[in-house]
Structure 1
Amino acid sequence: MSPSRSPGLDLVKWLAMLSMVIDHLRFIWPAAEWLFVIGRLAFPLFCLGIAANVARSVQGQLFTRANGRYLGWMLAFSVLSEWPYHALDVGTGTFSIMPTLTLGLLLAWGVHHHRWSLLSVLLVSLLVSDVLMYGWPGVVLPSAFLLALRGGAGTWLVPGFIAVAANLTNRWLQLNPAEPITLMALCAALLSAPLGLWVLHRQYRLPVWRVGRWGYWFYPLHLVVIRLLAR
Structure 2
Amino acid sequence: MNARRSAGLDLIKWLAMLSMVIDHLRFIWPTAEWLFVVGRLAFPLFCLGIAANVARTTPGQMYTAANGRYLGWMLAFSVLSEWPYHALDVGTGTFNIMPTLTLGLLLAWGVHHHKRQALAVLVLALLVSDVLMYGWLGVVLPAAFVLALRGGRGTWLLPGFIAVAANLSNQWLREHPTAPITLMALAVAFMSAPLGMRLLHGLHSRQVWPVGRWGYGFYPVHLALIKLVVP
Say which SS state the counterpart of residue 60 (structure 2) adopts. Answer: coil
Q: Which residue of 2 aligns with 1:77?
A: 77
Q: 2:45 matched to 1:56?
A: no
Closer/same/farther in 2, CA of residues 97 and 63 from structure 1, 3 Å limit: same
Alignment of 1:40-119 (within 5 A): 40-119=40-119
Q: In structure 2, how many angstroms separate the alpha carbons of the residues matched to 1:58 and 1:205?
A: 24
Q: Compute the displacement of 1:178 (Å).
A: 1.1
In the TM superposition, what whole-angstrom CA distance separates every residue of 1:59-91 from its partner, at most 9, and x where no partner exists?
111110000000000000000000000011111
- Structure 2 alignment gaps of length 5 or more: none
Q: Which residue of 2 aligns with 1:210?
A: 210
Q: In structure 1, how many angstroms separate the alpha carbons of the residues matched to 2:88 and 2:203?
A: 38
For residue 170 of structure 2, what is the amino acid of its counterpart?
N
For residue 76 of structure 1, what is the amino acid of its counterpart?
A
Q: 2:146 matched to 1:154?
A: no
Q: Compute the displacement of 1:127 (Å).
A: 0.4
Q: In structure 1, how many angstroms separate the alpha carbons of the residues matched to 2:8 and 2:203?
A: 7
For residue 117 of structure 2, what is the amino acid of its counterpart?
S
For residue 150 of structure 2, what is the amino acid of its counterpart?
R
- Structure 1 alignment gaps of length 5 or more: none
Q: Which residue of 2 aligns with 1:226?
A: 226
Say which SS state the counterpart of residue 177 (structure 2) adopts. Answer: coil
For residue 115 of structure 1, what is the amino acid of its counterpart?
K
In the TM superposition, what whole-angstrom CA distance separates every residue of 1:189-220 from its partner, at most 9, and x where no partner exists?
00000000000000244310000000000000
For residue 221 of structure 1, what is the amino acid of its counterpart?
V
Q: 2:41 matched to 1:27?
A: no
For residue 64 of structure 1, what is the amino acid of its counterpart?
T
Q: In structure 2, how many angstroms separate the alpha carbons of the residues matched to 1:69 and 1:205?
A: 29
How many percent identity over aligned positions? 76
Q: In structure 1, how many angstroms separate the alpha carbons of the residues matched to 2:202 and 2:16?
A: 17
The TM-score normalised by the length of structure 1 is: 0.98
In the TM superposition, what whole-angstrom CA distance separates every residue of 1:129-169 from its partner, at most 9, and x where no partner exists?
01000000000000000000000000000000000000000
Say which SS state the counterpart of residue 133 (structure 2) adopts. Answer: coil
For residue 7 of structure 1, what is the amino acid of its counterpart?
A
Say which SS state the counterpart of residue 207 (structure 1) adopts. Answer: coil
Say which SS state the counterpart of residue 208 (structure 2) adopts. Answer: coil
State the 4+ residue runs in structure 1 displaced beyond 6 angstroms: none
For residue 175 of structure 1, what is the amino acid of its counterpart?
E
Aligned length: 230
For residue 180 of structure 1, what is the amino acid of its counterpart?
P
Q: In structure 1, how many angstroms separate the alpha carbons of the residues matched to 2:92 and 2:111?
A: 31
For residue 142 of structure 1, what is the amino acid of its counterpart?
P
Closer/same/farther in 2, CA of residues 130 and 218 from structure 1, 3 Å limit: same
Say which SS state the counterpart of residue 68 (structure 1) adopts. Answer: helix
Closer/same/farther in 2, CA of residues 51 and 3 from structure 1, 3 Å limit: closer
Q: Compute the displacement of 1:31 (Å).
A: 1.1
